[in-house]
Structure 1
């Protein structure tokens, strides 16, 4: 079956809405990463607030790479800096 790009994107968005309504968070984030259609800023923010730097970096890297542009480089640098600072604090305690 051959579908055009707009229909494909609309179908993916509908599936994402369904997964969100059914509270299937892991599947939703996996589909977001794989399809690269929708960047969920709320999820990204939650991972940062919870201090889950690995998850945040993995999610971000599905959409952009540090070499893509200056903003991407700054985001990845900020994540690495926070991971380093937390590791340093744990080491001192």
Structure 2
């Protein structure tokens, strides 16, 4: 159910596949078009995939790294390595502050 706040039921494999596809399309686009155009196309794909939940999807400009805010925590994903972790806010803060 899309409540516009956070995804209730993360279908991990579906989300991973979608984000991997967005990254692949972005990289392929860059072979023939400007980076800005490719970013706009990829952002449109994110809108199609997440709808009103897009504000809960953070990503880097290259569409490789993603963080999704959900009810069970933060889905942290690297689309090139196909590596993911689901972390609580406490875990994220602890990891970040430990590194500084």
Higher strand share: 2
State whether TM-score is above 0.5.
Answer: no
Structure with greater helix share of residues: 1
Tell me which of the two structures has the higher relative contact order, counting C-alpha pairs closer than 8 angstroms and 6 or more residues apart.
Answer: 2
- Larger Rg: 1 or 2? 1
TM-score band w.r.t. shorter chain: 0.3 to 0.5
Q: What TM-score results when the alignment is normalised by the length of structure 2?
A: 0.31
